[in-house]
């Protein structure tokens, strides 16, 4: 129904279709009495933080526009008003930007996953590069060399190796579905949370983020579950049998599937899992969890192996990484390889160096640089990750790495340095929040020759670079795109002692 509606109108004119959609949205918003202000014919000039397009209101305030692309001329209805800015949605378009491209995915606009699908890839890269430059210069206020051109991803779609889908008996209905005469009796869904709606799930048909057999497995599991009349989860009432589905694909061809149930029902669990095994012989690891908790996280749950092995393998430059259901591994394997090569090159190893790899996760960077270093020491907060790091190092016959577990600001102290030696090079790859001030202070105190700072958030990286600025000069900056179709950007910075 939705598909035919879309195609029918799209053939007439994309502008007509989009304006129709925007008008319906406007009417719906009016009914909800949420109207604030309407600004006509604003030119969208930029794409900023969190991927929102930016225009300027007549009163000089910035307007963050949800569904626009730089170059569009739009009428915006505001949804939020603050001292310095508005937030809003484009309710009609008088001109489309040349930077636009056709979104590939039928779920674009409803799904929160790939917000930049309507912008050409070269323009996505341009705005990511600009975001990194702006953050380092404006937030960090540090002197930087010219930023190297961002390294784009070879794959623009189907680049993720891990996806997690949720079951729900409260499918998200599109505006067209609500306004149509159609009676939708089956409200089962298997897909993603609608942004900002914790209890509503978008039912996916085809997701463009993970390669086959991901879509085939998800659609089969949904159809089979319905055939067996199994109940889909209701997060408000906290009832239902099926909770989540995780699929991991890998560079070695291994495929992991994990089903999460809310309670045990051995007969139906077995029926569903056996059907999956029979349909997809390529699944090398079929796992399940019975999680009776209020939330979906499996980190404190027992993972049970139904068929195959309890792990899969990833491979990079001859190194093999054993990954279980709870292990972290970079989600874009091909670009992770590029990111690690840049990191190793920035470190400029000769074979004699003592290297610290802070926030090492499962020790992938540590193992990746080990053959070019004298010794590598990895530090990480999660004990299971460190166990996996040790196991992987052993599997890969790497003997010059050591791993230690603990909260960085506590572990990475004077005693630790005394025990393990002053590093020649520090590689640091913290989470989105960046490094704790105490960790930055410690870096200044130990004064390694070089620091390679890998970051998934250039705003917090900029803050940390400012704290290091009195002792370290930024000599190289290389953004890397790990997540096409989103605004996220990874950035590698080389710091050398002043
Ligand atoms: N370098 C790794 C993982 C980077 S993700 C890789 O490329 O695969 C960041 C890591 O920092 C995660 O593994 C997370 O568990 C860890 N971490 C987050 N906060 C931490 C803290 N306070 N102390 C130590 N490690 C932490």
For the chain, the domain total comes to 3
| Domain end among 255, 286, 316 | 316
Q: Is the CB of residue 361 below 6 angstroms from any atom belonging to ligand 1?
A: yes
Q: Out of 10-14, 40-44, 468-472, pick the least confident.
A: 10-14
**Cα distance between residue 25 and residue 31, in whole Å:** 10
Given a cut of 50, whether residue 115 has pLDDT beyond it is: yes
Whether residue 96 sits in one domain with residue 176 = no
Pocket test for ligand 1, best of 430, 442, 454, 492 (most atoms within 8 A of CB): 430
38-48 mean pLDDT: 94
Point out the ligand 1 atom lying closest to the alpha carbon of residue 361: 13
What secondary structure does DSSP assign to 215-245, as a single string? HHHHHHHHHHHHHTTPPBPBTTTTB-SEEEE
The residue that leads in pLDDT, 17 or 209, is 209
Q: Which residues contact 52 (CB under 8 A, 6 or more apart)?
A: 64, 65, 66, 87
Given a cut of 60, whether residue 13 has pLDDT beyond it is: no
247, part of any domain: yes
Q: Is the CB of residue 408 below 6 angstroms from any atom belonging to ligand 1?
A: yes
List active site positions.
456
Whether residue 351 sits in one domain with residue 492 = yes
Q: Is the CB of residue 411 below 6 angstroms from any atom belonging to ligand 1?
A: no
Whether residue 312 sits in one domain with residue 346 = no
Judged on CB neighbours under 10 Å (0-12, 13-18, 19+), 287 is buried
Given a cut of 80, whether residue 175 has pLDDT beyond it is: no
109, part of any domain: no
Q: Whose CA is nearest to atom 13 of ligand 1?
A: 361
Angle at Cα 155 formed by Cα 490 and Cα 189, nearest 5°?
A: 90
Q: What is the pLDDT of residues 184-218, one digit of tens each?
A: 788 999 999 988 888 889 999 999 999 999 999 99
Q: Is the CB of residue 328 below 6 angstroms from any atom belonging to ligand 1?
A: yes
Place of tokens 């790495």: 401
Whether residue 171 sits in one domain with residue 146 = no
**Cα distance between residue 336 and residue 151, in whole Å:** 12
309-338 mean pLDDT: 95
What pLDDT, on a 0 to 100 scale, did the predictor assign at position 9? 32
Whether residue 422 sits in one domain with residue 309 = no
Cα of 361 to ligand 1 centre, how many Å? 5
437, part of any domain: yes
| Owning domain of residue 41 | 16-100
Domain of 266: which CATH number? Answer: 2.40.50.1070
Place of tokens 């705003």: 459
Q: Given pLDDT bands bounded at 50, 70 and 90, which one contains residue 112?
A: confident
281-300 mean pLDDT: 96
Cα of 208 to ligand 1 centre, how many Å? 28
Q: Is the CB of residue 364 below 6 angstroms from any atom belonging to ligand 1?
A: yes
| Domain end among 255, 282, 316 | 316
Q: Is the CB of residue 169 below 6 angstroms from any atom belonging to ligand 1?
A: no
Q: Mark 125-164 as b/e (b = at least 16 C-beta within 10 Å).
A: bbbbbbbbbbbbeebbebebeebeebbbbeeebebbbbbe
Point out the ligand 1 atom lying closest to the alpha carbon of residue 408: 23
Q: Given pLDDT bands bounded at 50, 70 and 90, which one contains residue 136?
A: very high
Whether residue 346 sits in one domain with residue 493 = yes
What pLDDT, on a 0 to 100 scale, did the predictor assign at position 10? 33
108, part of any domain: no
133-152 mean pLDDT: 96
Cα of 386 to ligand 1 centre, how many Å? 10
228-241 mean pLDDT: 96
91, part of any domain: yes
Given a cut of 60, whether residue 14 has pLDDT beyond it is: no
Cα of 377 to ligand 1 centre, how many Å? 14
Whether residue 287 sits in one domain with residue 251 = yes
Whether residue 197 sits in one domain with residue 82 = no
Q: What are the φ and ψ backbone dihedral angles of 118, each rounded to 5 degrees? A: -90, 5
Q: Whose CA is nearest to atom 1 of ligand 1?
A: 360
What pLDDT, on a 0 to 100 scale, did the predictor assign at position 198? 80
Whether residue 350 sits in one domain with residue 489 = yes
The closest of 71, 75, 68 to 51, measured between CA atoms, is: 68
425 in Cβ contact with 472 (< 8 Å): no
Cα of 466 to ligand 1 centre, how many Å? 21
467 in Cβ contact with 450 (< 8 Å): no
Considering the chain, what is the average pLDDT of its residues? 92
**Cα distance between residue 161 and residue 249, in whole Å:** 5
What secondary structure does DSSP assign to 456-492, as a single string? S-HHHHHHHHHHHTTTEEEEEEEEE-SSTTSS--EEE
| Domain end among 283, 316, 349 | 316
Domain of 449: which CATH number? Answer: 3.40.50.150
217 in Cβ contact with 280 (< 8 Å): yes
Point out the ligand 1 atom lying closest to the alpha carbon of residue 359: 11
pTM recorded for the entire structure: 0.90
Given a cut of 80, whether residue 25 has pLDDT beyond it is: no
440, part of any domain: yes
Q: What is the pLDDT of residues 365-404, one digit of tens each?
A: 999 999 999 999 999 998 988 999 999 999 999 999 999 9
Domain of 32: which CATH number? Answer: 2.40.50.140
Q: Is the CB of residue 330 below 6 angstroms from any atom belonging to ligand 1?
A: yes
- 3-class secondary structure for 8-56? HHHHHCHHHHHHHHHHHHHHHHHHCCCCCCEEEEEECCEECHHHCEEEE
Q: Is the CB of residue 431 below 6 angstroms from any atom belonging to ligand 1?
A: yes
Given a cut of 80, whether residue 283 has pLDDT beyond it is: yes
What pLDDT, on a 0 to 100 scale, did the predictor assign at position 7? 31
Whether residue 310 sits in one domain with residue 188 = yes
DSSP bridge partners of 487: none
Given a cut of 70, whether residue 12 has pLDDT beyond it is: no
Cα of 436 to ligand 1 centre, how many Å? 12
114, part of any domain: no
111, part of any domain: no
Cα of 403 to ligand 1 centre, how many Å? 13
Whether residue 280 sits in one domain with residue 394 = no
Structure tokens at 451: 């620091």
Whether residue 467 sits in one domain with residue 339 = yes
Q: Out of 132-136, 179-183, 204-208, pick the least confident.
A: 179-183
Angle, helix 214-227 to helix 266-279, in steps of 10 degrees: 140
């Amino acid at each position: 129904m939705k598909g035919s509606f879309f195609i029918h109108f799209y053939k007439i004119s994309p502008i007509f279709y989009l304006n129709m959609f925007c008008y319906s949205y406007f009417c719906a918003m009016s009914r909800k009495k949420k109207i604030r202000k309407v600004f006509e014919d604003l030119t969208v000039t930029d794409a900023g933080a969190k991927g929102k397009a930016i225009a300027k209101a007549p009163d000089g305030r910035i307007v963050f526009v949800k569904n626009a692309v730089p170059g569009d001329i739009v009428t915006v209805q505001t949804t939020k008003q603050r001292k310095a800015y508005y937030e809003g949605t484009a309710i009609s378009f008088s001109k489309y930007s040349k930077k636009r491209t056709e979104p590939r995915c039928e779920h674009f606009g409803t799904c929160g996953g790939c917000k930049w699908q309507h912008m050409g890839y070269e323009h996505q890269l341009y705005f990511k590069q600009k975001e990194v430059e702006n953050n380092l210069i404006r937030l960090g206020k540090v002197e930087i060399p010219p930023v190297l051109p961002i390294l784009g991803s070879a794959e623009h779609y189907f680049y993720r190796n891990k996806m997690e889908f949720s079951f729900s008996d409260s499918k998200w209905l599109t505006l067209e579905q609500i306004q149509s005469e159609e009676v939708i009796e089956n409200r089962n869904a298997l897909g993603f949370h609608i942004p900002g709606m914790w209890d509503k799930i978008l039912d996916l048909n085809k997701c463009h983020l993970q390669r086959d057999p991901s879509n085939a497995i998800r659609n089969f599991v949904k159809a089979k579950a319905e055939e067996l009349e199994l109940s889909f989860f209701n997060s408000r009432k906290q009832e239902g049998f099926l909770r989540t589905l995780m699929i991991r694909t890998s560079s070695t061809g291994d495929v992991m599937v994990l089903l999460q149930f809310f309670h045990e029902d051995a007969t139906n669990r077995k029926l569903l899992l056996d059907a999956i095994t029979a349909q997809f012989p390529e699944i090398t690891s079929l796992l399940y969890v019975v999680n009776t908790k209020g939330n979906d996280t499996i980190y404190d749950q027992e993972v049970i192996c139904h068929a195959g092995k309890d792990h899969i393998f990833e491979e990079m430059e001859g190194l093999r990484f054993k990954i279980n259901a709870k292990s972290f591994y970079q989600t874009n394997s091909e670009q992770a390889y590029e990111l690690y090569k840049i990191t190793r090159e920035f470190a400029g190893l000769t074979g004699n160096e003592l290297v610290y790899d802070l926030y090492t996760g499962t020790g992938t960077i540590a193992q990746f640089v080990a053959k070019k270093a004298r010794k590598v020491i990895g530090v990480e907060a999660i004990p299971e990750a460190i166990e996996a790091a040790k196991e992987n190092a052993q599997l890969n016959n790497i003997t010059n790495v050591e791993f230690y577990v603990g909260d960085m600001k506590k572990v990475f102290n004077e005693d630790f340095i005394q025990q393990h030696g002053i590093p020649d090079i520090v590689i640091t790859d913290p989470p989105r929040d960046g490094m704790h001030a105490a960790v930055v202070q410690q870096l200044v105190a130990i004064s390694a020759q070089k620091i390679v700072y890998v970051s998934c958030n250039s705003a917090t990286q900029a803050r940390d670079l400012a704290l290091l600025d009195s002792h370290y000069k930024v000599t190289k900056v290389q953004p890397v795109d790990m997540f096409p179709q989103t605004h996220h950007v990874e950035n590698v910075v080389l710091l050398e002692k002043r």
